[in-house]
Amino acid sequence: MAVDVVTEIAIDRPRDEVARFAGDPANAPKWYVNIKEVEWKTAPPITIGSRMAFVAHFLGRRLSYTYEVVELVPGERLVMRAAEGPFPMETTYTWKSVGESRTRMTLRNSGTPAGFSKMFSPFMAAAMRRANRKDLIRLKTLLESGTEAGSSD
């Protein structure tokens, strides 16, 4: 059973600022509740073909997976595909300007669970939707407070 979860939020910051922060994998642990570590497997900055290893905790399990960037339109769209890991998944970020200083960010996770994850696919979409909603709210809070804007340290 395929999983396809789309979540979006409006952030009161310019599109380039939101895309720069959210599109930098080094910032993922700052706004993704479940992501604990990110390790570059290729040299930054992010480009098509970049690979990053992520360690996350989801549904009570520790997950390690490697994403590869398969599409990148700076400031507009980023698509990463799990090159290694327990759940073949694709994550897509899109950013659209809504006025001069507001951005609509869309986060999409899609894939087909395999192995152990396959048993939980009926519950996975709902859990992912809840987690993604929390993550986008956390991102919005960070960026609108101005404390993390443009930072990757």
The packing angle between helices 121-145 and 15-22, to 10°, is 120
Quote the DSSP letter at residue 146: T
Within 10 Å of residue 104's Cβ, how many Cβ atoms? 15
pLDDT one-digit tens code per residue, 13-43 = 999 999 999 999 999 999 999 999 999 999 9
Distances in whole angstroms, Cα of residue 49 to Cα of each of 41, 42, 44, 73: 10, 8, 11, 13
Where are the domains positioned within the chain? Answer: 3-145
Q: Can you name the CATH fold of 3-145?
A: Alpha-D-Glucose-1,6-Bisphosphate; Chain A, domain 4 (3.30.530)
Reported confidence tier of residue 86, pLDDT bands at 50, 70, 90: low
Pairing of strands 103-111, 89-97: antiparallel
> Is pLDDT of 153 > 50?
no
